[in-house]
């Protein structure tokens, strides 16, 4: 599979790139700061430096790909439109070049699924970030593409297990966290198959 990863130098993005290369995929890693990718030379890896807010650059890198994975995240907790603007560009590029499969990592909470006191606190603290993830989700919902949205609970730096729970209704009962490596595994699985197409999936152990 040939895929482009936007936000490839972030915590989840790096895991996606590494796992994809290990699986034999051809990967284009789209980054703003290549030094943050922390990966050496690999024959299956192409590193592209650019701004995902630039529509023309995004369209260019989507051409010829089989799938897109978007791991772009917010730079803080304030008001933002970063994720939805990037998603708009990705959708436009995919439509122009006939690429149909896209996996996007958002966050648990975008559908108001976090309950109780802890949920209230998280919804307040992350309200601007969650609102923009929701806008990105709504763009995908109307796109006509084969999309999957990941909604992970609290992220950790533990190693990949391949064993986690998922649900398209809320979040896994009692689940508290999931590693970035396992979120990456879910994104790659979704990009390579139809199992989660058209679904917004809560993830946790």
| Average confidence score pLDDT of the chain | 97
Identify the band that residue 40 occupies on the pLDDT scale cut at 50, 70 and 90: confident
Q: For domain 2-204, which architecture applies?
A: 3-Layer(aba) Sandwich (3.40)
Q: With pLDDT > 70 as the criterion, what percentage of the chain qualifies?
A: 100
- Chain center to CA of 79: 20
66 φ/ψ sector (left φ>0, alpha ψ -120 to 50, else beta): alpha
For residue range 57-116, list pLDDT tens digits in order: 999 999 999 999 999 999 899 999 999 999 999 999 999 999 999 999 999 999 999 988
- Residue 3, classed as helix, strand or coil, is strand
The pLDDT of residue 56: 98
**Domain map (residue ranges) of the chain:** 2-204
Residue 68: which H helix or E strand, with range? strand 67-70
CA proximity to 52, closest of 69, 66, 31? 31
- pTM recorded for the entire structure: 0.96
**DSSP at 112:** S
For residue range 9-32, list pLDDT tens digits in order: 999 999 999 999 999 999 999 999
- Residue 167, classed as helix, strand or coil, is strand
Rg (CA), the chain: 16
Residue 75, token pair as written in the block: 């730079």
Q: What is the largest CA-CA distance in the chain?
A: 49
CA angle 41, 53, 197 (to 5 degrees): 75
The pLDDT of residue 75: 84
For residue range 113-128, list pLDDT tens digits in order: 998 888 888 889 999 9
- Residue 91, classed as helix, strand or coil, is helix
Tell me whether residue 42 is exposed, middle or buried, using C-beta atoms within 10 angstroms of its C-beta: 0 to 12, 13 to 18, 19 or more.
middle
CA angle 19, 22, 27 (to 5 degrees): 70
Q: In which residue are the tokens 């994975």 written?
A: 69
CA 70 to CA 120: how far, in whole Å?
Answer: 27
Identify the band that residue 39 occupies on the pLDDT scale cut at 50, 70 and 90: confident
């Amino acid at each position: 599979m040939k895929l482009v990863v936007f936000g490839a130098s972030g915590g989840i993005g790096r895991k996606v790139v590494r796992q994809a290369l290990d699986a034999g995929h051809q990967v284009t890693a789209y980054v703003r700061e290549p030094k943050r990718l922390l990966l050496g030379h690999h024959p299956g890896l192409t590193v592209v430096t650019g701004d995902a807010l630039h529509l023309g650059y995004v369209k260019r890198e989507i051409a010829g790909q089989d799938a897109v994975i978007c791991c772009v995240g917010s730079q803080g907790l304030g008001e933002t439109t970063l994720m939805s603007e990037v998603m708009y560009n990705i959708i436009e590029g995919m439509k122009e070049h006939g690429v149909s499969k896209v996996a996007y990592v958002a966050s648990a909470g975008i559908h108001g699924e976090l309950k109780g006191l802890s949920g209230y606190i998280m919804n307040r603290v992350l309200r601007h970030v969650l609102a923009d993830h929701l806008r990105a989700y709504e763009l995908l919902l109307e796109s006509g593409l084969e999309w999957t949205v990941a909604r992970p609970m609290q992220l950790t730096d533990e190693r990949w297990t391949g064993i986690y729970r998922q649900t398209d209704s809320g979040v896994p009962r009692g689940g508290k966290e999931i590693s970035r490596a396992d979120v990456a595994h879910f994104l790659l699985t979704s990009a390579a198959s139809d199992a989660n197409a058209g679904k917004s999936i809560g993830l946790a152990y």
